[in-house]
Chains A and B, each alone.
Chain A
Amino acid sequence: MSSSAIEMSTSSLGPMMKRRGLVHWLRSYALLVEWEARSLRLLLPLAIVAQILLGAGLAIGFGFLMGEIPTIEAQFLATGVTVISMITVGLVLVPQIVSQRKYAGIYDYMWSLPVPRTSSVAASLTVNSFIALPGMVLALLVASWRFDLSLQISPLVVPAALLTLVSAASVGFALAHAISNPLLTNLVTNVLLFVILLYSPINFPPDRLPGWLASLHHGLPFQHAANVMRAGLTEGLATHAGESFAILAGWAAAAWIITAWVVGRRP
């Protein structure tokens, strides 16, 4: 290729205009979703398999732990494992991916691109949330089969699953960006996983917890994520679903505000 060809095409580049507004945000988001999806291409199959194993494994494993259980408990368990498989992506996998990228200095480059940083975060959340979907569906199917349940799936399951995924991934993203030390991020996510699995009213009703812990969980997102999913998957099991949607949306919004502040700041 001759140098003149390069000169010619460069001279026809347009001057850089100020590009802002919703159209710019959406265009940036679409391109960054493509970048994120391609970036996770090597990790994606493994992450999806791990999610499927986690979801199905939880359903089968809890079955061993609890033996034969009444239908109500089985419904709690079946819907609970789908929530756990979604929450672990947001609160464990997302912070670890973000931490690793921070450690490698990749955000130095990403934040230098002429895109709104919130579009970059949204693209990352979109692709990472997608990882959780196959595991969630399979966990539900395996649990239904294992406990011989017939679920009452309603359209409400779509906003419930989306809100659960987005709020968990947003909190995970905010967590990873707010904590500067990657080792500390890993520690926090491991503790969170422990709390989610054993001490959160996801697989069981909140009234089994000590009063103070039940009160605490009323303000945390975990039981509400389980409640909105139950509202979409069962009949009569979820109570005060509207309140749970509102609290979960509040957590997603708060996490978004923190994330937008963290990624937008110039130290």
Chain B
Amino acid sequence: MSVARQSASQHASQPHSLAGAGTLSVRELSKRYPGGLLANDGITLEIRSGEVFGLLGPNGAGKTTLVKQIIGLLRPTSGQISLDGYDLVRDPAQARQLVTYLPQSSLPIDSLTLRQVVGLVGRIRGGDRAMVHRRATEMIEALELVPWADSLGIKLSGGVKRLVGFVMASVWPASLVILDEPTNDVDPLRRRLLWQQIRRLGRQGVSVLLVTHNVLEAEQSVDRLAVIDEGRIIAQGTPSSLKAPDRRCLRLRVNLIPGVEKPEIPQICRHHTLVGRRLHLLIDETDAGDAIQWARASIEHGIAEEYALGAATLEDVYIRLIGRDDALEMMVDRRGDA
């Protein structure tokens, strides 16, 4: 049993605990837009109570379409969605009661302060003023947002706005919190605090559906994840289970010199990807010595600047699953570290 679920069951004994709620079941869900685009194609997944579930996929894979159907903004073409036993396709108003949502798009916070907007959202979600205020204060302090607590939204940076959005989605959660790219533009320090808060939601028995491009961060923070591409779930499981096929593999990253052609890939390479100037090679761990020799030779021949050898990550699995170099390119672009 995961830590999250252990904590959830501990909370179950407390009065008014949320634990036990938050089981989302999506069955054979398809969505075809009026123009003919099949954005979701028979998606089946389940999120258990208190689980932090990651949804990874390149742009246009169908992630936001899936989320909008769960929250009741879009009507599925076919399939079922249920949460805590409620049929959310038939009763979208119930979806809005049970699910809180941080969208990727703008939030209506420009003319309000963090405290004001979080207070309003908490009360709209059914909290009483004093409790909402207390919980908002706790979250603002935990995310180190105190300096901006009384600033108007229009004056906040993009990263702080995302954190405000997270507090809005989490200040009075119900069964499921959906976070669409919560870490976008957030600085590394607060990103860590944010992940702690996301994990804490899970420990409190609130399920979290996390839509992200940030595979490496997701690897550290989710209990399970699904990879979606072209509207279909192509893999699902824990980060470790998805990495299992590459367990005895290493990743060699070689930074090429600008302007040089891609070098000939050595025979020992099982899979390779070129993202900008970064060449990633997946190799068997028994071939580590040969890989280092090849990388050194590339530097000596003026092809590469530097190299690094490390364990294969979820990112390698992701690229292999998606089967396209641009999948990682998009992720790297979004992280801004290309």
Contact = CB atoms under 8 A, between A and B. Distances in A.
B108 interface: yes
Contacts of B131: 9, 12-13
Interface residues of A, number: 42
Chain B interface category by residue count: 35 or more
Interface string B1-35: 00000000001001111100100000000000010
B37 interface: no
Contacts of B98: 16
A240 interface: no
Contacts of A38: 111-112, 116, 120
Contacts of B117: 35
Interface in B91-106: 92-94, 96-101, 103-106
A67 interface: no
A207 interface: no
A110 B106 CA distance: 11
Contacts of B96: 112-115
A32 B227 CA distance: 38
Contacts, number: 134
A109 B107 contact: yes
Given A16-B97, A113-B96, A7 B204 contact: yes
A17 interface: yes
Given A18-B97, A38-B116, A114-B96, A13 B138 contact: no
A10 B18 contact: yes
A106 B161 CA distance: 14
Given A31-B123, A31-B124, A18 B94 contact: yes
A192 B243 CA distance: 61
B288 interface: no
A41 B116 CA distance: 13
A10 B107 contact: no
A22 B128 CA distance: 19
A253 to B, nearest CB: 23
A77 to B, nearest CB: 37
Interface in A27-86: 28, 31-32, 34-35, 38-43
17 contacts: A1-B138, A6-B135, A11-B14, A12-B15, A15-B16, A16-B98, A31-B120, A34-B120, A39-B108, A42-B110, A105-B106, A113-B96, A114-B96, A115-B124, A266-B73, A266-B74, A267-B34
